[in-house]
Amino acid sequence: MAAAESKQRWLSSPGTDLPNTQVGHDLGMTTDNTGVSVISAALATMPSGPGVYRMLDAKGDTLYVGKARSLNRRVTSYTQIGRLPERLRRMVTGTAAMEIVTTHTEAEALLLEANLIKRLKPHFNIVLRDDKSYPWLMLSEEHPYPRISKHRGAQDRKNSYWGPFASAWAVNQTVTAMQRVFLLRSCADTVFSTRTRPCLLYQIKRCSAPCVGRITPEDYGKLVGQAKAFLAGKAGSVQKDLAAEMEQAAEELEFERAAAVRDRLRGLTFVQGNSVVNPASLTDADVIAGWQIGGQTCVQVFFVRGGRNNGNRAFYPTHTKAEETPEVLGAFVAQFYDDKPPPPLLLINHELPEQGLIAEALSLKASRTVEIAVPQRGEKRAVVLHAETNAREALERKMAESAGQAKLLEGVAQLFTLPDTPKRIEVYDNSHIMGTNPYGVMIVAGPEGFIKGAYRKFGIRGPITPGDDFAMMREMLQRRFSRALKEQAEGAATTEWPDLLLIDGGAGQLSAVRDVLADLGVQDVKVVAIAKGPDRDAGREWLHMDGQPPIQLPPRDPVLYFLQRLRDEAHRFAITTHRAGRSKNIRVSELDEIEGIGPARKRALLNHFGSGRGVKMAGLTDLEATPGISRETALRVYAHFHPGVRMENTG
């Protein structure tokens, strides 16, 4: 594993003795210097061993993360600014401080670099934006009759796991196949313990009904063993065992059992179907192929486990147009396995820069050998070409969609007389029920479609009169643009400014937003309010802008459809945010606010009165009669709900 970052930090000074273990430094913290002088000052005590370095801006945010076999030699190259490409020159100019972490080996530095890039998402790195968890197939080993199911999240050592799978659909398909072939249960333990007769899965021959004793623990254990062998890639031996069992049942004239085994054998044969999608020569491997068009890259990953294809997923790493496909693939591979175990074999379509080092780092992470290969012939080559074709087609589809998006954005610029095609459109909406649980949201769209990583939620703080939508909009805009102005004043390199603000509402909302921006001194952002037309019919919306009367577009105008999509996405996000916040508040009881009422007493009160409202309406005598509630506690609860009542008069 990569060396952990040390918490020990100090300013650089000549003659510092470096320990043999990894150490963190803060170097060149004088933000008055230019970037080159900051880096030059850091080099005075920069160690020559392997490690990871970070370029920081004046705000302390990470601009770039890099690793090196020799930190001193690598960082020295940044002082020769005339030899750097434009992207790195801008990075060096914005550098106000440096931080390093030394490691024992370059492989450890590579793992740490990948971890930091995924966590910090530096502006000048190739970044894999993959925040989704991957589903696994789980067999619960603690129960006498193990259950097969889909699993996400942390893994328990007591259970067995296979994966990862590219999608929930892929793992669900595998669960269905395992039910058909091995008759394993998939129901929850609570359901299993309360069954009195077999469920529908038993009737359609997808479960052996261990819940009602239709199979012995020993026979069920044999099914579990066969399933494990199949998932481990030993499908051939399982097939032979089933064939022998079918023949034996037929010889013993147990034709029903023979037919049941035959059906399982057919299911196994169907699942085993081999092709370029399910390669026979691969057991556990990931097939990774990158394709680049016009400075954009798509990386397709196929997960092969136990000789079966567990599905594929497309990724679009963020990088500059100058980065070539091998460089993007190298950064992708290092970051992709930061939070998941690598398989023994990676098949790729390009030689990677530092391919041997990446393989060494992944082997260190997996505690076994991991091979990275670029096959040139045979079935493995066919599998890589198949992944490459998928990457090319996915990227072509994405770019075609982007081209359509570009035409719509050009139409928006023309309609609202913008100086240029908008790169960032922000849409605002809010949601509440009679003023309760108020939330505001911001969604963002650009040339690539919706930018969901830039979405923001605003819990309205108030004080605001319930239902005052104008006040909610004012608070939301004040918080968003006050923060942007502060970041701009601090010189943050990643401050994003919108080219267009789209507000769900009419002239009133437009006026409220205009006043907020004027108070903050923001004058160069176009604001448009989109209001539903008569009878709130879609297609008859009015567009309100400063300095001109409201306008309507023809009902079938593509730009109108685009604006409706933006408005509807903001509305969807506002509704889901409000519902999530409301559900969270519903789970919080007013009893939690009473001092001395912990989980046990809260449970006793709710069990006795049925609800928090029942507790609130109860008299002192009723509270005292609650099992587990003392008179002192009852007095405290009663006083909370009846402030100002003299306790001696409560009777």
Looking at residue 366, which CATH number applies to its domain? 3.30.420
With respect to residue 455, please indicate whether it lies within any of the assigned structural domains.
yes
* Residues 600 and 559 placed together within one structural domain of the fold: no
With respect to residue 242, please indicate whether it lies within any of the assigned structural domains.
no
d(CA 175, CA 140): 13
With respect to residue 13, please indicate whether it lies within any of the assigned structural domains.
no
d(CA 366, CA 532): 57
Domain boundary residue, one of 585, 605, 640: 585
* Residues 521 and 560 placed together within one structural domain of the fold: yes
Structural domain containing residue 615? 590-649
Mean pLDDT in consecutive groups of 10 residues from the start of the chain, 651 residues: 36 32 44 71 86 88 90 89 83 87 87 86 81 78 86 80 76 78 85 86 86 88 84 70 75 74 67 48 85 87 80 85 89 87 92 90 90 89 88 82 82 90 89 67 88 85 70 83 80 74 85 85 86 62 85 83 87 80 58 77 77 78 85 85 59 42
**Are 604 and 628 within 8 A, CB to CB?**
yes
* Residues 113 and 175 placed together within one structural domain of the fold: no
d(CA 249, CA 211): 25
Q: What is the pLDDT of residue 556?
A: 74
- Closest alpha carbon to 308 in 429, 173, 409: 173
φ/ψ bin of 223: left (φ > 0), alpha (ψ from -120 to 50), beta (otherwise) = alpha
Q: What is the pLDDT of residue 624?
A: 86
* Residues 389 and 371 placed together within one structural domain of the fold: yes
* Residues 554 and 441 placed together within one structural domain of the fold: yes
Q: What is the pLDDT of residue 491?
A: 65
Note the pTM of the prediction, 2 decimals: 0.56
Q: Residue 167: is it exposed, middle or buried by C-beta count within 10 angstroms (0-12/13-18/19+)?
A: middle
* Residues 543 and 616 placed together within one structural domain of the fold: no
* Residues 620 and 577 placed together within one structural domain of the fold: no
* Residues 141 and 99 placed together within one structural domain of the fold: no
3-state secondary structure 549-582: EEECCCCCCHHHHHHHHHHHHHHHHHHHHHHHHH
With respect to residue 258, please indicate whether it lies within any of the assigned structural domains.
no
Q: What is the pLDDT of residue 637?
A: 85
d(CA 622, CA 493): 63
Q: What is the pLDDT of residue 20?
A: 34
**What is the count of structural domains for the chain?**
5
d(CA 639, CA 617): 12
CATH code of the domain covering residue 94: 3.40.1440.10
* Residues 574 and 605 placed together within one structural domain of the fold: no
With respect to residue 451, please indicate whether it lies within any of the assigned structural domains.
yes
With respect to residue 78, please indicate whether it lies within any of the assigned structural domains.
yes
Q: What is the pLDDT of residue 581?
A: 65
Domain boundary residue, one of 533, 557, 585: 585
* Residues 109 and 196 placed together within one structural domain of the fold: no
With respect to residue 207, please indicate whether it lies within any of the assigned structural domains.
yes
With respect to residue 363, please indicate whether it lies within any of the assigned structural domains.
yes
Q: What is the pLDDT of residue 29?
A: 42
- Closest alpha carbon to 424 in 499, 517, 349, 533: 499
CATH code of the domain covering residue 594: 1.10.150.20
* Residues 201 and 170 placed together within one structural domain of the fold: yes
* Residues 447 and 567 placed together within one structural domain of the fold: yes
268 token code pair: 């196994």
d(CA 96, CA 102): 20
d(CA 461, CA 463): 6
CATH code of the domain covering residue 444: 3.30.420.340
Domain boundary residue, one of 95, 120, 145: 120
**Are 302 and 309 within 8 A, CB to CB?**
yes
Q: What is the pLDDT of residue 538?
A: 57
Q: What is the pLDDT of residue 13?
A: 31
